[in-house]
Amino acid sequence: MWIPTVLAVVAVLAATLVLRFVSGLKNVSYLPGFRCVFSPQSLWGVILPTVYFNPGMNWFWLWRKWVYEYYGSRTISSVSLFGGPLIFTASADVARQVLVGNSAKFYKSPETQAATRLWGENIISSNFDVYKRHRRIVGPAFSGPTYAFVAREAARLYSEMIDGENWCQQKQVRVESINEYLSKFALGIISRCGFGLPFPWVDDSENHEMSFEKALTIVTGGFIVKLAAPLWAYKFPIKRLREVDEAYNKLAVSLKSLVTARKAELASETSEPGSSGNDLFTRLVSAAEAEGKNGLDDDELIGNVFSFMFAGHETTGHTLSATLALLALYQDEQDKALKQIHEVLSDGRAPTFDDISKLDKVAACFEEAARFFPAGFILHRNATEHVVLNLSEDSNRTLVIPPGVTIVVDMVGIHHDPKLFPDPERFDPSRWYGVQDSELSFFGFGPRACIGRKFALTEGVCLLSLLLRDWKVDVNLRAGETVVQWRERVLQGGMVGLAFGVRDVPLVLTRR
């Protein structure tokens, strides 16, 4: 008796899936592309590895050399049995139509912004009028005094790192993963220049309570755990969950009291002019206070500083690791950068913000690494209404994006397009010589492009100038490995944390 019932249920489920699939095909106007079981953006799609029937999370990188040619278009679709239909584009022209020309008709949907919204609404996750309010208050914090502060703190943290790691005593340093150091460096800069909290390289406090740096480190590493774990899971004695939970609570309490303290300081005007007030958080609190009711409430203030950490920590750290990996392979480019560093910082001093524009060849190395491994690698948008895109670059056709279909800009694809970047697998910083900051496409396109670009460039150029001046950077080979094999092994992109980047980069640093 139950066998026919089960069969009937299965048949109905199967029919539903097939109908959904067919409707998905129609919703993407039958654009060629992936036809798969799990949507590449769904939980299962992400968890399962990238194989030919499951694009997963890493096809952007692994299939970059052939996938668009294979489907005959730089704008392709994905229709799956489980998960909504998607459009991917690796055409800079189509990306501009979405993010510049039609920017008012696209928004960032809450489901694609879950990670950034853990702490409260903020400039990255919000849309329309709410976004305008956030932007108005956050915008002015990103300007000269903050960048000057970033340059000073970068120099200070670099010395602390060299001392703290005891590299100052060594002629040669071999590391299995430079990423660890650079990620910690980027976190330190965000902690100091974003939150206004000092971040000692070596934490020698005897205190058993979790320190701010420790909490920050756990929280950044725990974003994924926090996102994926359902609330009831916290009832169980799972060590990792407990730790992440404790770190979140600790940070929330610290930040709430920090907001109160900053407001009190501003009210009594005891805060001295100078570097102490130039962190993003203090500038944000002061701008929000000035706006009164039209400003940001405490949760939004905290949401925004967290969004800077989310957007500014891993992105900059990964790009720095990629720059050193590529400079280790391309010694001639390393020499060119070094020559400029000696010219600009001839007296052996540390770079200041004023030097950044003169260190353009060093900046170009960072920029070319950011092209090779664009940390902000997928930009999601949903349409509010039917939007017609012109695919003339590929074909004489248009594509209608209906509401309910997410369009995903594939930044890896765009930045490895041989029409825009001839011989894309070659590291060639000269591609970026003379390019304005506003034209750096790996920071995004249009009104929602990266607000932290100058922050990132200042941090990156300072660290690279100091490090390359003191150390020659080389590949750290395994026994019997050739440089070509090292490149094949190490120069691979993927999700590292929540951003895209190069995995562990083994290097040898030799004192110059």
Ligand X SMILES: *[C@@H]1O[C@H](CO)[C@@H](O)[C@H](O)[C@H]1NC(C)=O
Within 10 angstroms of residue 239's Cβ, the number of other Cβ atoms is 7
- 17 to 36: interface string for ligand X, x by CB under 6 A: ---x--xx--x---------
Q: Which two tokens stand for residue 250?
A: 């600790």
Helical ranges in 30-167 per DSSP H:
43-47, 59-62, 67-71, 92-96, 128-138, 144-164
Of 84 and 452, the one with the shorter C-beta distance to ligand HEM is 452
Q: How far is the CB of 381 from ligand HEM (least distance, A)?
A: 8
Which residues make up each annotated binding site for heme?
450
Q: How far is the CB of 224 from ligand X (least distance, A)?
A: 21
Cβ partners under 8 Å of residue 245, min gap 6: 234
Calpha distance 259→368 (Å, rounded)? 38
Q: Which does 322 bind (CB under 5 to 8 A by kind): ligand HEM, ligand X, none?
A: none
84 lies in the site for ligand X, by CB under 6 A: yes
3-state helix, strand, coil in the chain (%, to 5): 60, 10, 30
The span of 174-182, 388-396, 429-437, 460-468 binding ligand X (CB under 6 A) equals 388-396
Angle of CA points 99, 103, 109, to nearest 5°: 90
406 lies in the site for ligand X, by CB under 6 A: yes
Binding residue count for ligand HEM, defined by CB under 6 A? 26
Of 85 and 374, the one with the shorter C-beta distance to ligand X is 85
CA dihedral 427, 429, 435, 440 (to 10 degrees): 40
451 lies in the site for ligand HEM, by CB under 6 A: yes
Contacts 24+ apart (CB under 8 A), 389-397: 389/75, 389/94, 389/97, 389/98, 389/102, 390/94, 390/97, 391/73, 391/75, 391/91, 391/94, 392/93, 393/74, 393/91, 393/93, 393/94, 394/72, 394/73, 394/74, 394/75, 394/91, 395/72, 395/73
159 lies in the site for ligand X, by CB under 6 A: no
113 lies in the site for ligand HEM, by CB under 6 A: no
Binding residue count for ligand X, defined by CB under 6 A? 18
Q: Which does 85 bind (CB under 5 to 8 A by kind): ligand HEM, ligand X, none?
A: ligand X
319 lies in the site for ligand HEM, by CB under 6 A: yes
Of 432 and 455, the one with the shorter C-beta distance to ligand HEM is 455
85 lies in the site for ligand X, by CB under 6 A: yes
Q: How far is the CB of 88 from ligand HEM (least distance, A)?
A: 14
Q: Which two tokens stand for residue 340?
A: 């400029």
Q: Which two tokens stand for residue 223?
A: 């974003």
The span of 21-29, 308-316, 346-354, 400-408 binding ligand HEM (CB under 6 A) equals 308-316
Residue from 31, 87, 98, 123 touching ligand HEM (CB under 6 A): that is 123
One-letter amino acid of 262: R
112 lies in the site for ligand HEM, by CB under 6 A: no
Q: Which two tokens stand for residue 264?
A: 């009190």
Stretch 183-212 residues interacting with ligand X (CB under 6 A): none
Q: Is the dihedral of CA 466, 212, 304, 148 positive or negative?
A: negative
Q: How far is the CB of 100 from ligand HEM (least distance, A)?
A: 11
Cβ partners under 8 Å of residue 272, min gap 6: none
Residue from 311, 322, 345, 363 touching ligand HEM (CB under 6 A): that is 311
Q: How far is the CB of 415 from ligand X (least distance, A)?
A: 22
The span of 292-300, 372-380, 386-394, 396-404 binding ligand HEM (CB under 6 A) equals 372-380
Stretch 214-243 residues interacting with ligand X (CB under 6 A): none
Q: Which two tokens stand for residue 272?
A: 């001295």
Calpha distance 66→29 (Å, rounded)? 23
Q: Which does 444 bind (CB under 5 to 8 A by kind): ligand X, ligand HEM, none?
A: ligand HEM
Cβ atoms of 430 and 337 within 8 Å: the answer is no
Do the bridges between strand 471-475 and strand 106-107 make them parallel or antiparallel, or are there none, so unpaired? Answer: unpaired
Of 80 and 316, the one with the shorter C-beta distance to ligand X is 80
Of 69 and 111, the one with the shorter C-beta distance to ligand HEM is 111
Q: Which two tokens stand for residue 234?
A: 């916290």
Identify which of 464, 438, 468 has the alpha carbon closest to the alpha carbon of residue 369.
Answer: 464
124 lies in the site for ligand HEM, by CB under 6 A: yes
308 lies in the site for ligand HEM, by CB under 6 A: yes
3-class SS string, 91-122: CHHHHHHHHHHCHHHEECCHHHHCCHHHHCCC
The span of 258-266, 272-280, 389-397, 428-436 binding ligand X (CB under 6 A) equals 389-397
Calpha distance 300→192 (Å, rounded)? 20
Q: How far is the CB of 91 from ligand X (least distance, A)?
A: 12
Of 443 and 471, the one with the shorter C-beta distance to ligand HEM is 443
Residues lying near ligand HEM in the complex (CB under 6 A) are found at: 123-124, 135, 194, 307-308, 311-312, 315-316, 319, 370, 374-376, 379, 442-444, 448-452, 455-456
Residues lying near ligand X in the complex (CB under 6 A) are found at: 20, 23-24, 27, 84-86, 109, 111, 382, 390, 392, 396, 398, 402, 404-406
